[in-house]
Structure 1
Amino acid sequence: MKTKKILILGGVTEGYILAEELASREPFHPISSLAGRTQHPRPPVGETRIGGFGGVEGLHAFLLERAIDAVVDATHPFADTMGQHAALACDQAKVPLLRLERPAWMPQPGDCWHPVADWEQAVAFLQIQGARRVLLALGARELAPFSTLFDTWFLLRTVTQPDPMPPFTAAELLVARGPFTLEQELELLRRHEIDTIVCRNSGGEGAAAKLAAARELGIAVIMRERPQRPSLPSVATVAGALDWLCDQPG
């Protein structure tokens, strides 16, 4: 039986689970690709590569060189550049491409969400709202636009240390990796007297506790909406991705 080489563009939990599932099944050989932006990332099961491909041309060359049979884009919902590159490279190489993406969060009764398209809109809304104590639950590279707000105190919760640290006038840095429980989020929000949360609509259960805590405490949430993705076959679960891969010829 011919081995099927599956390139998993990783970044979220589902990519790790898919690699583990494929590694235990014939005839699949998973190759997980991580961007390398997180220090000391957890290695997926199976073959792993870390770092960029060098744009569309680099990814196209990799697909041909390694004779990849199919690609699963399991990158973060906000890794839109990689998504665009994958669509173009797979189209050129005639390699099937699937998007594995967890469903977006949807507002529940009692939520006070304010959707924005980018961080500039978020900054403007904070000014209009008159927010005073804000939790930024963002990536370390996304903090800088908010450092222009001199009358707002920020709790900066990131997975990695910002380098360089943006010039906030008043801020406290909390380097921590979730998932966090509802009780932990309630305690954090109360202790720091947070009146607004800024985050991305990443979806999934691991980061949803802060939204439940905000709902319980009546805290506003500025939610950045997901960027537009290429029109592709798409599934929301690892099981769906496995079914799709099993249906691919070869």
Structure 2
Amino acid sequence: MSKRVGGVLAARHGWCGPDEVIRFAVPCTPSGIRFDVDGLSWDGRSGSAGKGIERAFSAVEGLVNASSDYDDRLPPPKVVCFGPGPQSQVMGFRPVTEDADVRFTWVLTSHRLALLAEVPEPPEPEQEKEESSGSFWQKARKFGAGVRDFSRDVADILQDKKLGAYPANEPVPVAPVTSLGEVTVQQVRAIGRATRKLPRSYASRKVFALRVELADGSGLDVISAAEENIVRLEAMAFGRQ
């Protein structure tokens, strides 16, 4: 797992303008983004090929799920994109990657809404060889471990444990980021609280959401099982916290 700092610090350091204020930032991995869009599968694939890939991806999620405490079911996704079809405005944010470990951050600022991705570090030669020769199930287990490590990293940063591990008086390495899609705030039609019902494979089917609606009626729901988190996120979105 990379020792570079990502998330809000990476967005602030390598992407935001000097007068741009970050309202909120939501970190996630590819498995944390799902799609409620006509013509697409839940993981954003289209057509019959997408359904086959979705079944394979479900097997990977099953391995992650087996190591969790969610009553043999999945934790809720971080974000659900919604819209009437694949041409919806929100689909401009759909990430295209085969790397299950890549780290994304959804960012709302005073100027724009964006999906950022950390630029991966070049793999070590031995690591690259191991990854290319690993079986599907070895990669699936690695994916599950990566999700757990990512959660621990986020918790450590919030508690200042991760930053405390860096040498004093030396710059903290910050991950470079690239924008996968963004719109200006003028293209955001509404922001407000909502509820959403997830598929039956999830432990919490009824969840709370902060809904960000775009100009064409499509948008994204930032998901939480706790309503108080959404109340706070809404306040942050409007600069009240």
Tell me the TM-score normalised to structure 1 length: 0.25
Rg: which structure is higher? Answer: 1
Which structure has more RCO (C-alpha within 8 Å, separation ≥ 6)?
A: 2
Tell me the TM-score normalised to structure 2 length: 0.26
